Structure 1
Amino acid sequence: MCGRYTIIVSIDELIMRYFIEEEMSVPFHRPRYNVAPGQMVMAVINDGSRNRIGELKWGLVPSWAKDEKIGYMMINARAETLTEKPAFRKLIARKRAIIPADSFYEWKRAADGSKQPMRIMLKNETTFSMAALYDTWQSPDGRKISTCTIITTSPNELMQNIHDRMPVILKPEDEAAWLNRNEPEIGDLLEMLKAYPAEEMKAYPVSPLVGNVKNDNEACIADVSLE
């Protein structure tokens, strides 16, 4: 699964990275070292003519859901079963998003049963794009909530020793097609949902501080192997 990540870069960097038009209204953004499910997260979508950046609540609430609490059970969607699950199979065709990140966390189980949190990122430490789906739900009292789920896939060689799932990190050349609302071939989209090359990634141990969502500072990303 993918249950925590970081997005430390500035909003200006995100605007340039995802070709957001400067006159477009963008949300306030500060460096975040411990993003967790249930929170509002930065996301990129395409409105049919241009990319837009805004916030979605992490934890998908399908438009047909009776209760928004279902979102806590839908923080991730498995790439292998997207076209089979009622919550996802319609969204893959029209409601695809990118969740920008510069690392994600996963907990590696040790031989003694303890768990060591690991920070996983690209070797060049640049921003990457996690594939996501989104939807808008309206409550009985008229409230509208836009939510998302991060797509996961089988682990690459680096992740195999850490966890049995990892978020889908889109290749840069696939990002535009993933966001394109007019992209017709579902098969082509599904082909993008593969594990990112292990040789382009790295991982290191971090403090158990990341286990508490109240901790959201630079201490979360400190390499404890260097202490």
Structure 2
Amino acid sequence: MCYRTKLNVKLSEIEQSFDARFIEPETYKPMEEINAFSFMKTPVVTDENLGEIEMYNWGLIPFWARDEKIRKMTLNARIESLTEKPAFRNSVENRCLIIANGYYEWQWKDPKGKEKQKFLITPQEQELFAFAGIYSSWTNPKTNSLVNSYAIVTTEANELMSEIHNNKKRMPVILKKEDRQAWLSSWEVSGFAFPYEVKLNAKAI
């Protein structure tokens, strides 16, 4: 799966790479490691606003949720069951680019994962890249405030990630730069499942 990402570049680099502008630039802070379980806001580009970079919360909250507790279970969305899972099926056509310049994964050194090796994973041909994402807009019934949130779409691991993420053998869908628009244009999700992939580097840290 994918629960730790990296985005530590300057705001101007993100805007240039994605040909878009931050709506609230003051809310962006470069971070060496972003923990999914903090449910924090990170930069995304949605299919509704291609020229804008917005800050959405990691952890998708479907519009029908009574509260935000479900987000613990919706940080990632398996591409194979996107159209079936109640938490995701209403958001399949709500596509977004989740911006990053790396993510972290842990290799289990023993069957129970008591000893682990941490790796930084990056695409070989993109310094800044986009995870395939889906998003939802939810109104908190207690405060009436709007929460925009997302899930990172995951797929079967390729050969490299099967060796590194050896307990789950999953990986996030990282989009080729030329396919960002295709994802946002609601192309069939199955076309982005493995063997769709980008070439990756893995650095032990």
For this structure pair, what is the TM-score category when the shorter chain's length is used for normalisation? Answer: 0.7 to 0.9
Residue matched to 1:109: 108
**Equivalent residues in 2 for 1:143-222, closer than 5 Å:** 143-163=145-165, 164-180=169-185, 183=186, 185=187, 187=188, 189-194=189-194, 197=197, 200-206=199-205
Q: CA deviation at 1:138?
A: 0.9
Letter of the 1:149 partner, please give it. Answer: A
Residue matched to 1:3: 3
Aligned counterparts of 1:30 and 1:143: Cα–Cα separation in 2 = 23
Residue 195 to residue 104, structure 1, CA distance change in 2 (3 Å): farther
Aligned counterparts of 2:68 and 2:181: Cα–Cα separation in 1 = 30
Letter of the 2:98 partner, please give it. Answer: I
SS in 1 for 2:194: coil
Letter of the 1:159 partner, please give it. Answer: M
Residue matched to 2:123: 122
Q: CA deviation at 1:45?
A: 1.0
SS in 2 for 1:43: strand
Question: In angstroms, what is the RMSD of aligned CA positions?
Answer: 1.9
Which structure has the larger Rg?
Answer: 1
Q: CA deviation at 1:169?
A: 0.4
TM normalised by structure 1 equals 0.80
Aligned counterparts of 1:90 and 1:205: Cα–Cα separation in 2 = 38
- Same amino acid, percent of matched pairs: 35
Residue 195 to residue 27, structure 1, CA distance change in 2 (3 Å): farther
Q: CA deviation at 1:204?
A: 1.4
**Equivalent residues in 2 for 1:25-44, closer than 5 Å:** 25-28=23-26, 29-37=28-36, 38-44=39-45
Any unmatched runs of 5+ in structure 2?
Answer: none
Aligned counterparts of 1:122 and 1:26: Cα–Cα separation in 2 = 28
Residue 131 to residue 160, structure 1, CA distance change in 2 (3 Å): same
Q: CA deviation at 1:114?
A: 0.4
Aligned counterparts of 1:45 and 1:204: Cα–Cα separation in 2 = 30
Q: Which runs of 4+ in 1 moved over 6 A?
A: none
How many aligned residue pairs are there?
A: 196
2:96 is equivalent to residue 77 of structure 1:
no
Aligned counterparts of 2:137 and 2:101: Cα–Cα separation in 1 = 26
Aligned counterparts of 1:145 and 1:67: Cα–Cα separation in 2 = 11
Any unmatched runs of 5+ in structure 1?
Answer: 207-227
Aligned counterparts of 1:190 and 1:16: Cα–Cα separation in 2 = 30
Aligned counterparts of 2:4 and 2:174: Cα–Cα separation in 1 = 14
Q: CA deviation at 1:100?
A: 1.0
Q: CA deviation at 1:150?
A: 0.4
